[in-house]
Amino acid sequence: MYGGALSHTLAACPAGAVVVFFNPDAACIERANRLASTMRCVVVDNTPAVRSAASIGLSEAIDYLPNGENVGIAIALNQGIEVLLSNGVEMALLFDQDSDPPAALLSDLPALVAKSNEVGERVALVGPAYDDPRLGGVAPFVRFRYWKLERLMPEGDAPIDVDFLITSGSCINLRYWSDVGPMDDALFIDFVDLEWCVRAKQKGYRILGLPWIRMSHELGAEPVTIFGRRYPMHGPLRHYYQFRNVVALLKRSYMPWSWKTTELVKLPVRLVVYTFFPDQRSQHIIMALKGLRDGWVGRLGRH
């Protein structure tokens, strides 16, 4: 029984946390301070304003990196991880500013990484199952298969080998950070986690989902329902990055064809859903088409 056994080994797990801010509210500050009371915590602030930690109410225990602009999720995560590495931290828990991890996540994820290191297993990343009630509850883990993802329900008390995990709530094994390489800052935001997981898997490392750990996580704004299925919705700029980055990754030779075929099926569906059903349809259409164009010509980075 992994769940019970791992939760008793937190003290032996030298883990730290990286939290990425963007216009955080008081609840975000409080969550970061609470996290810092349990482990070393780095807050990387992408809010477009230079502020001090004290001015926004952050604990003195937090390593605060204010970028003064939105440099993207990839750069922010890389910055935070480098701070942890420089302080001898061996594993990094990664969080969005609105992530509220349960205590079991903070103990079991680092403990599993530590255990894998002890026995010589090459585990690069572990993560929980995600619960978004707006999208129908607990999301399945996934593996890439030709034309359609294999969806694995998070059940049981054994880790599940998966092909990727979303960043928020995951725990990265810094033992292999330099081998896999940093997050791809050219992508800026969307598909950053997926692209990193692909590189880790190609290096022979495992990505594990822990089905007994659940974390509430909302994907995007209020979803839209189409033919009985609910889709997470974003603003026009976020859809620009989504369409741009999927096209850019489709062109990269190291991305697996199993993933590419799935995305080729999903891309036209996304185009219809994300451009014709939300408000501001014209803006969504313009940004989606611009993203497709920029992805094709390789115009990446911040828009």
pLDDT digits (tens, 9 = 90+) for 9-58: 334 448 999 999 999 999 999 999 999 999 999 999 999 998 999 999 99
Q: Beta strand 229-233 with 141-143: parallel, antiparallel or unpaired?
A: unpaired
User: Given the structure tokens 């990193």, which residue do they identify?
Assistant: 196
123 & 231 share domain: no
pTM above 0.85, yes or no: yes
What CA–CA distances, in Å, run from 171 to 111, 113, 114, 175, 235?
Answer: 10, 8, 11, 12, 28
Domain boundary among 159, 187, 216: 216
211 & 230 share domain: no
Domain boundary among 216, 234, 253: 216
What is the C-alpha separation between 163 and 160, in angstroms, rounded? 10
Q: Which residues contact residue 94 at a Cβ distance below 8 angstroms, ignoring those fewer than 6 apart?
A: 17, 18, 77, 80, 167, 168, 169, 170, 171, 172
What is the C-alpha separation between 36 and 61, in angstroms, rounded? 6
- CA-based max dimension of the chain: 55
Domain boundary among 185, 216, 247: 216
What is residue 222's predicted lDDT score, i.e. its pLDDT? 60
Domain that holds residue 241: 221-297
CA 96 to chain centre: 8
What is residue 59's predicted lDDT score, i.e. its pLDDT? 95
In a domain? residue 303: no
161 & 235 share domain: no
Estimate the crossing angle of helix 281-297 against helix 236-250, to 10 degrees. 30
- Mean pLDDT for the stretch of residues 212-228: 70
147 & 123 share domain: yes
Domain count, the chain: 2
